[in-house]
Amino acid sequence: MAIDVLLGLQWGDEGKGKIVDVLSGRYDLIARFQGGPNAGHTLEFDGAKHVLHTIPSGIFHRNALNLIGNGVVIDPVIFLGEIEKLRVVDDRITDRLYISRKAHLILPTHRLLDAASEAAKGKDKIGSTLKGIGPTYMDKTGRNGLRVGDLELRDFPERYRSLVDKHLSLLRQYPDFQFDLPPLEAVWMEASERLRGMQLVDSELYLSKALAENKRVLAEGAQGSLLDIDFGTYPFVTSSTTTAAGACTGLGVAPNRIGQVFGIFKAYCTRVGSGPFPTELDDELGEKLRKNGREFGSTTGRPRRCGWLDLPALKYAIEINGVSELMMMKADVLGDFDRIGVCTAYRYNGKEVTHLPYRIDPELVEPVYTWMPGWNCDLSGIERTEDLPEELMNYVRFIERETGIRIGVLSVGPDRRQTLSLS
């Protein structure tokens, strides 16, 4: 059996959580493969809203199991907090949750290092979520990190201390940065002790057994392709492989086991944090998108930057991920615009180009727009594809033609039920 992958094609927050939840009924296992609590995946159903950071978005389906893969980084305190919240909804949640022993641990000092390094960067800061993501992946690739499986080792306290000592010496480079570590450590130790008691697995073996038993598996990405450590707008990126290849390394799955790659994008663009964003709207149109789309970060609450859809960037993301089906989110947010801009090319070095250049800083690229008529109607109550306005279907068909990939799902609101299949 193959494993399907679902991931974001823009700068994150495309609506991955919602769609994973919608699709979970069709899968036996949902597996997160990278990122950590920098993610905020929102699910809405039965009049309630849930935001997940580390836990896969299949957790509300009683027939699906959920796995946190080796590519994920876990902060035990945030993770336990999520579990406590979910227990109110379902007290058997941890029965359906498995955690890779090879997933790396975010220590309190990783978070301090993240904060100190961002503060020192001043106006050049990445705009990190300050969850310790960068420093934890640095320790992973630097071969210093601690993993979930280390919690089971007798000498874990010594390993922990030795890494913290390294971090403290690094923190001395930031003499103005104040912190009080002992209280943070006390909560962390308690949470990691509870994490140790959960269902820890050698996830690559667990997965390969599941696939051998013909279980249907969906890999859930976090962040988006333009935040990928290699292919994103470096250095304004996250520290993991957010693209389809990350599902292989983050779960221990061979490339020839990947089946469908579902690519999710918003009908416009958003970005939270720093970094280039060619189609960003700094005017009242951008403000309107933010207001209509409630574009505030699910993890940090920061206002998201908003702009028109960027096709060169979308095509690039489709290419590097091998997307087999597109899913377009938040079409309802464009419901009261007379005309809708789509960037179809960039003016770059005096020429018009349709690919994504090495750098897309505002002084280097200028978007070239095609204008489409808006649909000027409220989509949020539409339940049948036949009832979708013609202007919206023209927008859909235009994107399909430009990208060469079918849009199979159209989302018209945050609720599970506000999801239409397109044929």
Binding of ligand GDP by 8 (CB under 6 A): yes
Is residue 53 annotated as part of the catalytic site, yes or no? Answer: no
**Exposed, middle or buried by CB within 10 Å (0-12, 13-18, 19+), for 220?**
buried
Query: Which one is catalytic: 41, 53, 61, 104?
Result: 41
Tell the smallest beta-carbon distance from residue 232 to ligand IMO (Å).
Answer: 8
Binding of ligand GDP by 298 (CB under 6 A): yes
Buried (b) or exposed (e) across 102-127, using 16+ Cβ within 10 A?
Answer: bbbbbbbbbbbbbbbbbeeeeeeebb
| β-bridge mates for residue 369, sequence order | 343
Tell the smallest beta-carbon distance from residue 253 to Mg ion (Å).
Answer: 24
d(CA 271, CA 278): 11
Binding of Mg ion by 13 (CB under 5 A): yes
Q: Taking each helix axis as running N to C, give the angle between helix 156-171 and helix 108-121, from 0 to 180 degrees, rounded to the nearest 10.
A: 10
* Per-residue contact string for residues 271-310; x = within reach of Mg ion by CB under 5 A: ---------------------------x------------
Question: Near ligand GDP by CB under 6 A, which window of 11-19, 110-118, 146-154, 237-245?
Answer: 11-19
Decide: 218 and 3 in contact? Cβ < 8 Å: yes
d(CA 292, CA 288): 6
d(CA 274, CA 235): 10
Is residue 310 annotated as part of the catalytic site, yes or no? Answer: no
Binding of ligand GDP by 35 (CB under 6 A): no
d(CA 241, CA 85): 29
Residue 10's nearest CA partner among 318, 241, 301, 390 is 318
Binding of ligand IMO by 128 (CB under 6 A): yes
Mapping DSSP onto H, E and C, the string for 331-390 reads: HHHHCCCCEEEEEEEEEECCEEECCCCCCCCCCCEEEEEEEEECCCCCCCCCCCHHHCCH
Residue among 21, 44, 150, 310 that touches ligand GDP (CB under 6 A): 44
Structure tokens at 184: 């943070």
Tell the smallest beta-carbon distance from residue 221 to ligand GDP (Å).
Answer: 9
The one of ligand GDP, ligand IMO, Mg ion, none whose footprint includes residue 127, by CB under 5 to 8 A per kind, is ligand IMO
Residue among 71, 76, 108, 134 that touches ligand IMO (CB under 6 A): 134
Which residues bind to Mg ion, rule: CB under 5 A? 13, 40, 298
The binding site for ligand GDP (CB under 6 A) comprises 8, 12-18, 39-42, 44, 293, 298, 329-330, 332-333, 411-414
Active site residues: 13, 41
**Which residues make up the interface to ligand IMO (CB under 6 A)?**
8, 11-13, 35, 38-41, 126-129, 131, 133-134, 222-224, 227, 238, 272-273, 298
